[in-house]
A and B are shown apart, each in its own frame.
Chain A
């Protein structure tokens, strides 16, 4: 079912449509929450809260608006609220790649899955060391795939700022990865 029709049915109170919407976007919301939360359980709770809030605000969602940026905006705002509430936030723990980052890539052999998981874990660790502003850009653009214009609207920043910050963020992430694991820069 196409997304506009699914959303329409959700707004009409169709619980089956709502279930489909949750199942369709749970991975995206959980994936975003993982980068804000301190651990996997907190991320799961955060993602659950996001969907509860989305459920409450579906009525105010405009049909002509793209859904994913709206969803990610709700998720990001709630995650930031949560971080502010837990003011003394300890540095995030490394999330076990084989357990928490249960990647959806199908058809991988166990070795490939393990290797991919290790790389993801390295990227995750590096992301936690990147500056906050760059990290948000990376989360929203490179991971979640939002457009620059959508990120500019979401973060309330000029488009040019987002664009330049996006390039610098990539470089900072790559340099951080090289600092954490110098062997990552060696061609296989």
Chain B
């Protein structure tokens, strides 16, 4: 008997009991999941990051510059005191500043320039009219018009913004369809486990 599969199966059914109604069995399973998730993450973070790139280089290789991030990291714990809680802003400011600094060129290139340039496609290819390219340009411009709130959406602007709404609805509809597909796949995966591994209904 595979105890692991047995426990996994019983816990799966405990979670599914929520579909009937919220109950102590489900709550207990959920609490266990929360605790295990945090404990698991603690181990992984400690082993792969703090030991690997902080304590080993600092102690074994005497890379003394790492005292700076160690002190900054410990400053995060000042959040638990009332008097010195402002100290925790310093390491947060470093992370936020560094993130903002690297984000500017990335956003400009990858999200803005590259996307705009990709939208500019030839309308006529090999003598044929490429309606799809026209749809992309119209869709993009009208959706951007919808999100432009510095001007009243009336007249021509209003009509273009309304067209943008329809393109957005197509996007949301497609996303909903794919999301439904994804959720159903997750359910199918659990049914696979229950039927094959847990109940051995299918070999």
Decide whether A and B are members of one complex: no
A positions within 8 Å CB-CB of B: none
